[in-house]
Amino acid sequence: MDRKPLLAGNWKMHTNVQEAQQLAASVVQAAAKVSGRDVMIAPPYTALTAVESTISSSGVILGAQNVHWEEKGAFTGEISAAMLKDVGCEMVIIGHSERRHVFGETDQMINKRVTGALRFGLTPVFCIGETLEQREAGRTMTILENQVRAGLDNVALKSGSHLVVAYEPVWAIGTGKTATEAQAQEAHSFIRNLLADIYEKNIAGQIRILYGGSVKPENIDILMQQDDIDGALVGGAALKAESFERIICFQ
Ligand code: PGA
């Protein structure tokens, strides 16, 4: 099944407004060099509006780094899907390992965020991944299965295009250690089979599964050659215009 590759940049807690606009402008130029690919950038909340004006009409997709499940209310420090839509976001990263491990987000909270995002028409980029300890204990697939089943519990999908999954082994994020392409493909194929079990096979075939964790110009090509790797969620290398351009222009 044909799935349009998605190259996504997670800027984390980096860039002021001016830096964000400059970086976004370089992403627009890079994205114009390729066709048949989606490019998404997720700046910090403070730069969303400025970046939206830089990328508007370029086809580059605006994403956010988290979302709350309620539309509005007394939730100090949170942002709703309706607010993100209002500033032009189409996608939102949910369940990133930093949210899970640094901020203690549980599968149940992540499930509510996924449901809330979909309710307001935002496409979740739903992140899962095992720690080094879990991998070394041979528990990778069990952990992934638990995260997928809990995170997508009662999440109905009319089309696989409304959901993106990102497999990001925790031990590969920001460490310079990448999963080998074989390790990544093994996990992605396992995730796709699991999605086929939860949804219909044709819906699972439409869901894009991104790899994340130390993706860089040196490894993007081989990763993208794997059958079930449909794109990348990029942290560090997305903050450098040249590196992200090379990733967008993978061969
Ligand atoms: P990294 O981060 O590319 O810097 O490893 C990936 C991520 O956290 O999404």
How would you write 239-250 as a 3-class SS string?
HCHHHHHHHHCC
Residue 174 confidence (pLDDT): 86
Sequence-distant (≥ 6) Cβ neighbours of residue 192 within 8 angstroms: 204, 205, 207, 209, 228
Residue 176 confidence (pLDDT): 83
In tens, the pLDDT along 113-146 reads 999 999 999 999 999 999 999 999 999 999 999 9
Residue nearest to atom 1 of ligand 1 (CA): 235
The full set of domains in the chain, from first to last, is 6-248 (3.20.20.70)
Residue 168 is a catalytic residue: yes
Q: What integer is the mean pLDDT of 190-211?
A: 97
Asked if residue 173 has its Cβ within 6 Å of ligand 1, the reply is: yes
Residue nearest to atom 2 of ligand 1 (CA): 235
| Whether pTM exceeds 0.85 | yes
Asked if residue 10 has its Cβ within 6 Å of ligand 1, the reply is: yes
